[in-house]
């Protein structure tokens, strides 16, 4: 009988020990392993936030079958970036909007972003490519917004907003030219709109 009680006592202690050990493992998982997971997710989110050091957006009237093209050039791009050359060393064209063609929405916009922010002059052009809108007067107002990354937060701040009007098919306009300094700051005194053709730079000779 005493031997039986002793076995029960040992078994009880073994079970209790297993329970305590399992609880300690659970606490270790909660307080040691899991806190590292949010950091991985945070790094992933930070990478997404930092994808573009500069964003250039153009918007023209929605619900019209008109194709306006964005052209950009950074100081490090060998050739301007637009629909026929969508990726440069710095700029990438994220969206090429064809107006009403091959589009699931009524919105009309194009967007380009940079990887890095090299010092030097940036040129932003727009080009009047196609107008398929019946009865359209021809003139197309285009809003241009340029933003750069705001510090380490990953957010963006607008540095330039412009509205330009394209009036004739085939017309290309330099909306703005500006300089980014060596320290990554926008030089407000450098802003101008002296024309520099970009589209023909990357097209084959006619």
Tell me: the pLDDT tens digits for 78-104? 999 999 999 999 999 998 888 766 666
Band of residue 161 on the pLDDT scale cut at 50, 70, 90: very high
Percent of the chain with pLDDT strictly greater than 90: 57
Best mean pLDDT range from 44-53, 77-86, 90-99, 132-141: 77-86
C-beta of residue 128 within 8 angstroms of C-beta of residue 171: yes
Mean pLDDT of the region 110-132:
95
pLDDT of residue 42: 41
* pTM higher than the cut 0.85: no
Query: Is 32's pLDDT higher than 80?
Result: no
Mean pLDDT of the region 58-76:
95
Q: Which residue has the higher pLDDT, 24 or 91?
A: 91
Band of residue 24 on the pLDDT scale cut at 50, 70, 90: low
Main-chain phi, psi angles of 74, to 5 degrees: -100, 170
Q: Which residue has the higher pLDDT, 155 or 48?
A: 155
Percent of the chain with pLDDT strictly greater than 70: 69
174-199 tens-digit pLDDT = 999 999 999 999 999 999 999 999 99
Mean pLDDT of the region 132-158:
86
Summary mean pLDDT of the chain: 80
């Amino acid at each position: 009988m005493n031997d039986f009680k002793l076995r029960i006592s040992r078994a009880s202690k073994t079970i209790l020990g297993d329970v305590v050990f399992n609880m300690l493992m659970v606490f270790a998982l909660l307080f040691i392993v899991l806190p590292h997971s949010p950091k991985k997710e945070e790094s992933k989110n930070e990478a997404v936030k930092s994808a573009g050091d500069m964003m250039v957006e153009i918007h023209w009237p929605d619900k019209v079958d008109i194709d306006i093209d964005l052209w950009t050039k950074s100081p490090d791009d060998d050739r301007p970036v637009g629909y026929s050359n969508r990726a440069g060393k710095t700029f990438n064209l994220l969206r090429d909007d064809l107006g009403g063609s091959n589009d699931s929405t009524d919105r009309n916009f194009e967007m380009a972003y940079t990887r890095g922010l090299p010092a030097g002059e940036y040129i932003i052009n727009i080009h009047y490519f196609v107008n398929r809108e019946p009865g359209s007067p021809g003139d197309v107002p285009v809003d241009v917004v340029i933003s750069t990354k705001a510090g380490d937060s990953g957010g963006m701040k607008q540095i330039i907003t412009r509205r330009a009007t394209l009036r004739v098919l085939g017309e290309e306009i330099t909306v703005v030219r500006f300089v980014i300094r060596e320290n990554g700051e926008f030089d407000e005194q450098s802003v101008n709109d002296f024309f520099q053709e970009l589209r023909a730079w990357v097209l084959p000779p006619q």
